[in-house]
Structure 1
Amino acid sequence: MTEQDRTPMEETEEVADAIEDDVAVGAFVTGGGPDSDNPQFLQPGEEIKIRTGADQPWDPEDLAVAQGRYPTPENIERARRELERDGAAAIERTVP
């Protein structure tokens, strides 16, 4: 093991340069896409399209099952009425 290998990263010249000049530190650059560790930030005024459960067609049977109910005729009818009355909100309450 070399002396440089034992030096804590925050004490390396590379990190000092990054702090001083705002340059990227190679060990910190992942090259990966956005995720929970590497979020992608939006510019002010920039919008993102969020896909929700209601973005796709739902049958009453699908809604009944998503609500944790067996697809009995009574549960399917209740889900049909809920979809008819509330539309996408019925789905959003169950599958956001």
Structure 2
Amino acid sequence: MSTSQPSQDRATPDNLLHTCNGTDVSPEDVVMASGRDLTPRNLEWARRKLAEDPNAVEKLLP
């Protein structure tokens, strides 16, 4: 079994959940990581979160 894709019967490995330093994180990424729906209101929330803390998505992921 490849470790690059999650299995249906196992938890997703941490290296697939976390973003890498130096990558661009979009507001859509933050919304999806938070488990929220992609709505204009949630995208604006995510834009504010990223403006306050560019590493905001890391705090949302396990």
TM-score by length of 1: 0.41
- What RMSD, in angstroms, separates the aligned Cα atoms of the two structures? 1.5
2:41 pairs with 1:74: yes
Higher relative contact order (CA 8 A, sep 6+): 2
Find the partner of 1:83 among 47, 50, 59: 50
Counting aligned pairs with the same residue, the percent is 41
> What does residue range 28-67 of structure 1 map to in structure 2 within 5 Å?
52-55=18-21, 56-67=23-34
- CA distance, structure 1, for counterparts of residue 59 and residue 47 of structure 2: 15
Q: How many Å apart are 1:54 and its aligned residue?
A: 4.7
- CA distance, structure 1, for counterparts of residue 57 and residue 32 of structure 2: 12
Number of equivalent positions: 44
Structure whose alpha-carbon radius of gyration is higher: 1
